[in-house]
Amino acid sequence: MRFYKLPTVALILFFSVVSLAQSEDSLDADSDNTSEPDSSSPGVSTTGGSVDVPPEKLSPIRIPKIDDSDPIVIDGNLTEEIWKSAAVFKDFYQTSPGENIAPSKPTEAYMVWDEKNIYLAFKCWDDKDKIRATVAKRDGVFGEDNVRVWLDTYDDQRRAYILGWNPLGIQADGIYTEGQGSDFSVDIVMESKGQIHEWGWAVEVKIPFKSLRYAAGEGKNWGFNAARNIDRFNDEFDSWMPDDRNVSGFLIKHGRITGFDSIKTERTLEIIPSITISETGRRVESSTVPEGRFLNEPIKTDMGFTVKYSITPNITLDAAVNPDFAEIEADAPIVEANRRFPVFFPEKRPFFLEGADVFNSPLRVFNSRTIVDPDVAAKLTGKIGKNSFGILVASDNAPGNFSDDARNDPNTRPFIDEFVDENATFAVLRLKRDVGKENNIGMFATYRSFPENKNLLAGFDGRIKVNGSTVFNYQVVGTHSRRCFFESSFDPDDDPTQATRNGQICGGAVVNGVEELGSPYDFYRTGNGVGYFANLDSGKDTFGYVFEVGGRTKDYRADSGFTRRTDSHYLFGGFRKSTKSKPKARIIRMNMFNGFSYSYDGRGRIQDVEYNGNANMNFQKSTFINFFWGLGHGRLYEDEFGLTRNDNRDGAFFGDSSRRTNYGWAGLFFRSSPSKKYAFWTEFSHNWGAYDFDFGAGPLFPRVSPAALSGDGRQDPGTGRRIFFGTGIDLKPTDPFSVSLQFNKSRLVRSDTNMTAFDSNIVSVRSTYQFTRFIFARARIDYRSISSRVRGQYLFGWTPSPGKAFYIGYNDDMSVNGFNPFTGVRESGLHRNRRKFFIRMSYLFRKSF
């Protein structure tokens, strides 16, 4: 163990040395153009830290109302006389990397409104030839120069719209939720245009009130803040309101606007019909062609529509009938070898993204991706006073949508007969009430049913602001299920009838398009479980700590949510130490974190005990480096993987019924964006004492445990050495064109046999050509060496506004010197497994009344 401590000691010494160097190194400040407004703010700190906010920023800013008979032309020029009477937001503070100091360049924002729209404008003084802006895709502007605003339309400091624009006026929009961060999956209808001028750049925006949810009425205030990013100055962030880093929370630090006393309240109906025309081909088994043949399926047409109705400005009803969920963007490839637990993938479908923040919770008790292919779905979300709510129901035909091959297979049909063409029903209820200024309490309930399977979950959660820098979050839920549970002690030979029935009920599901016949060791019964989570997080500028507990009991099931592991409980604690930010120094800021965790199962058996740490530094030219390390002790138990042994039978494991290891890891991550033309990153880590779970990794990497080499079929987990190396580069050779190259390698060699358990190489290439703001072509190619497959995705799109879209796409899946899926024989060259060509169209019809 003494040797394993050396990386930690070396990194701690390195952290101490560069901390001393930070105080001595500095760079000259850029000089401002004398024609620009004064960039310093009243009350600004010259050394960084908290500031005295001017009184005029502490009082709500009244936004003037204008006559809509003299419309503003959204062109990015700000030539209208109306802007001279607008509310002005100026005297910004640099809040990152500096702490409430004068910004490098001045910024001013302007706002007016009429009965139907809010009008925003920004003036951003800068050197014309140094502005970083490209013809980016929507929501892709925050990696270059941009401006943004937050609109807390309920003034509750819990949730706000975040709307941003780059110098060309290209949009980004999302929802910021306190404690959860920003979600840019939400798209709202608005109009914007930016222009680059000799003195800098400007942007004009028109936001219809009917695109927002808000609390209407006389004397209502909205939370508000405006900000600007200057990318070349280490991603400098300039904010209209200062940021006290010793105060936890984000929206609480914002200002307020008022004056929206006579908004013309409208009920808005949006209807989006869609049509998808597709033709699919796939490789199928053939009795006459051993290697299989390629089957071209008939052209398929899917029609559907979604409806959104704003019952009031703060309550919205969404409904969808046969919604079009054509695959526009695939999930990122991951290393699937030796993976014991599932991986969470984010939602990408528009219907479920709207209002998704309402259904979020620490335990992820609802995951909309469990609703795979809904025939019909409806959702009601909103906020009334201090009470926010969300109700969702859906009928999903995916679990019972078996392939023709499975339906016609006499060996499979008896196991799936009672599930064929049956739908799964989902229902979700979410309630939350604001308590005081920054606290809330809520409840969650979900229900899912499918023939012979039912799951009910209910519980409560909340957030308590303990003091200015400390927040406590918690959640407790209970589950009741009638379904299949794995029973490591069940012996099918003792009750063959029950074993057969278990296989019938527990099989018949479709997972990623593959029919699962179930396991005879899955036992159909009733089970009750509990899940819990509590987190105390305190953070100030230079110090912070966190304590957390959580877990799920053995019979905990959340069939409408995402669960990584059951029968596991943990304790975690950690602390952070940081240096003060010095934006002109060679090393701008440093952070060091140390954490300790202990996990165990329901019987009190140790699963893992870990210490982990990292030290990271921010340098000039948007350069970041992170060193990370850890030590741990882990154990595996036979009953977690399969049958437990007794006097009459062998268990799941070959050899001992439990395994233990002392393990550790060390590595580094480096990222830099020195130019608007390119950015790159690399990561390397080495793990010792890492487990090979003895799953095997396909035909290329069969099991290499002593048990497997001796011909024994039982699992034989063992330890080994694992390395990971990843690198990537993002290139923007021209404004409309971007390309990203990425390579990841992960390799595990067992210590007992000195043989390679797996060696995974993933190569990804992504490129986009943005012909205009709304027209693009995109290509993506992913190669996985373990599966010997290359998958391509090629898309041409026209997306002028949310809801209006036209796509032509082609997806391809090919084997490269891979193994035949029917014969298991290796094939040389390229062989196509599946392809799909599709055309998708949708159009937004919007009516207000």
| β-strand partners of 119 | 112, 206
Structure tokens at 215: 């609390």
- Res 29 pLDDT > 70: no
What is the number of structural domains in the chain?
2
CA separation, residue 327 to residues 346, 794, 811 (Å):
14, 11, 9
pLDDT in tens, 502-552: 777 775 444 344 444 555 567 889 999 999 999 999 999 999 999 999 999
In terms of domains, do 253 and 363 share one?
Answer: no
Structure tokens at 251: 């929206």
pLDDT in tens, 406-464: 788 777 777 777 888 899 999 999 999 999 989 999 999 999 999 989 999 999 999 99
- Res 48 pLDDT > 80: no
Q: Among candidates 204, 222, 244, 199, which has minimal Cα distance to 93?
A: 244
CA–CA gap between residue 162 and residue 151 (Å, rounded) = 7
Following DSSP, what letter does each residue of 132-193 receive, concatenated?
Answer: ----PPTT--TTSSEEEEEEETT-SSSEEEEEEE-TT--EEEEEEETTTEEETT-----EEE
Neighbours of 6 (CB within 10 A): 10
Q: With contact defined as beta carbons under 8 Å apart, do 820 and 827 qualify?
A: yes
Residue 82 lies in a domain: yes
What confidence category does residue 723 fall into, taking pLDDT thresholds of 50, 70 and 90?
Answer: very high
In terms of domains, do 243 and 348 share one?
Answer: no
Residue 393 lies in a domain: yes
The predicted structure's pLDDT at residue 11: 40
Q: How far is CA 456 from the centre of its chain?
A: 26
- Res 686 pLDDT > 80: yes
Structure tokens at 369: 């991706």
Which of 564, 587, 621 is the last residue in one of the domains?
564
In terms of domains, do 191 and 95 share one?
Answer: yes
In terms of domains, do 250 and 143 share one?
Answer: yes
The predicted structure's pLDDT at residue 518: 54
Domain that holds residue 122: 32-258
Mean pLDDT, residues 378-406 taken together: 91
In terms of domains, do 36 and 184 share one?
Answer: yes
What residues contact 394, with CB distance under 8 A and at least 6 apart? Answer: 371, 374, 376, 377, 378, 425, 426
What confidence category does residue 36 fall into, taking pLDDT thresholds of 50, 70 and 90?
Answer: low
In terms of domains, do 233 and 133 share one?
Answer: yes
pLDDT in tens, 194-249: 999 999 999 999 999 999 999 877 888 999 999 999 999 999 999 999 999 999 99
* Higher-pLDDT residue of 698, 37: 698
Q: Give the predicted TM-score (pTM) of the model.
A: 0.87
Q: With contact defined as beta carbons under 8 Å apart, do 643 and 715 qualify?
A: no
CA–CA gap between residue 33 and residue 13 (Å, rounded) = 43
Residue 469 lies in a domain: yes
Neighbours of 295 (CB within 10 A): 12
What confidence category does residue 67 fall into, taking pLDDT thresholds of 50, 70 and 90?
Answer: confident
Neighbours of 470 (CB within 10 A): 16
Long-range contacts of 777-784 (CB under 8 A, 24+ apart): 780/330, 782/330, 782/333, 783/816, 784/333, 784/760
Mean pLDDT, residues 688-709 taken together: 95
In terms of domains, do 358 and 499 share one?
Answer: yes
Residue 757 lies in a domain: no
In terms of domains, do 250 and 359 share one?
Answer: no
Mean pLDDT, residues 345-350 taken together: 82
Q: With contact defined as beta carbons under 8 Å apart, do 353 and 369 qualify?
A: no
Residue 594 lies in a domain: no
In terms of domains, do 540 and 433 share one?
Answer: yes
In terms of domains, do 377 and 244 share one?
Answer: no
Q: With contact defined as beta carbons under 8 Å apart, do 611 and 630 qualify?
A: yes
Structure tokens at 422: 């049956």
The predicted structure's pLDDT at residue 613: 97
CATH code of 71's domain: 2.60.40.1190
Sheet strands side by side (includes 191-197): 87-89, 107-113, 117-125, 200-208, 191-197
Which of 209, 242, 258 is the last residue in one of the domains?
258
* Higher-pLDDT residue of 701, 52: 701
- Res 23 pLDDT > 70: no
The predicted structure's pLDDT at residue 186: 84
Neighbours of 408 (CB within 10 A): 10
Q: At CA 682, angle to CA 677 and CA 686, rounded to 5? A: 180
CA–CA gap between residue 195 and residue 170 (Å, rounded) = 11
CA–CA gap between residue 399 and residue 417 (Å, rounded) = 12
Amino acid in the structure at residue 564: R
The predicted structure's pLDDT at residue 420: 87
Residue 666 lies in a domain: no
In terms of domains, do 244 and 346 share one?
Answer: no
Residue 462 lies in a domain: yes
Residue found under tokens 């030796």: 338
Which of 564, 597, 622 is the last residue in one of the domains?
564
- Res 676 pLDDT > 90: no
- Res 8 pLDDT > 70: no
The predicted structure's pLDDT at residue 555: 96
Question: Regarding beta strands 93-96 and 830-842, do their DSSP bridges make them parallel or antiparallel, or are they unpaired?
Answer: unpaired
pLDDT in tens, 764-774: 999 999 999 99
What confidence category does residue 3 fall into, taking pLDDT thresholds of 50, 70 and 90?
Answer: very low
Work out the percent of the chain whose per-residue pLDDT is above 90: 70
CA separation, residue 22 to residues 312, 586, 829 (Å):
55, 7, 55
pLDDT in tens, 128-176: 999 999 998 899 899 899 999 999 999 999 999 999 999 999 999 999 9
The predicted structure's pLDDT at residue 17: 35
Average pLDDT over the chain, rounded to an integer: 89
In terms of domains, do 355 and 217 share one?
Answer: no
Amino acid in the structure at residue 115: E
What confidence category does residue 27 fall into, taking pLDDT thresholds of 50, 70 and 90?
Answer: very low
* Higher-pLDDT residue of 827, 741: 741
The predicted structure's pLDDT at residue 15: 38
The predicted structure's pLDDT at residue 718: 96
Residue 86 lies in a domain: yes
